[in-house]
Structure 1
């Protein structure tokens, strides 16, 4: 399967250094090269919902940067307190912290297909990920959604999260525009971005995604 994907999509294949790093660090317990998809978009763009459908349909392991950070917060250790304070201020958690949480999940998984949801959120995040794990994403899904729609969705979901309030969501949107869009531009130049119109019903949005994975994941 993997060889077929590489031959069809040379721009999406991992570098030689990535393969060497994987062999040294044991990121995957099997012989398949990890297939990594970054899932990006503003808060409320529907990334989590779409990831659930991709997991159900194509068998990926879903790693939500936000969920991993909230799990660490719930541990009530020093690292968790720092993460909570950072999120409340609408700022980005230090790259190394988030990357190591993601790395831990990848290294312990029997799967080789990963959706990394909501990360990287800045160029610093991106560089840290590629440096620490030694790999680049194969695909970057960018869920493009108008700001007013994202605000409406976040305020209506009422999940009790500390970052689901008007002041914090506006801070997060400003951070996204300033820091995340350069990441998307970087991967656009490298031919890895698939832009998805995130406005519409869940199934309608997913129909834009389905052909991408149907073609690439056999």
Structure 2
């Protein structure tokens, strides 16, 4: 009679370990996929191609073109901000819930531990994959567009200022996103920061 509860405990402990391992594998896959969203050359090419198209628009219809491009820039920035706020808000709720459910499993019966561990991993995985990963992908696309606009406008504004000043003194590079990208491109800490939720 004593062996049945011990066997049941062993089975549920093993299942809890399997679910936890699945959560770890999910986080590793997340970090791998996040690290391989864009290669450096692919990113430069995409920004360069888009910059060329934007420059053509700037050169063809001066008044309307720059107005539309600036509006596109503002919209892209607002979309990134909105996505980040939603991801943070939902993440706060789901990660807190996942942590509370996981902690409740420590004092629960072994059969309940398996269920609580599964629910905890599921809550975190839903947020990680359905919210965070998709937001990162959409933000990366938006940042490519923003950086291309900044690059095109920087060249356009520098040319205009140079024409007026008749000198090469004006070399201000327009765009905080392009500036930050260039400054953090080869930094290891930025990779850790991007992968933080996989580590968590």
Larger Rg: 2
TM range (shorter): under 0.3
Higher strand share: 1
* Structure with more helix by fraction: 2
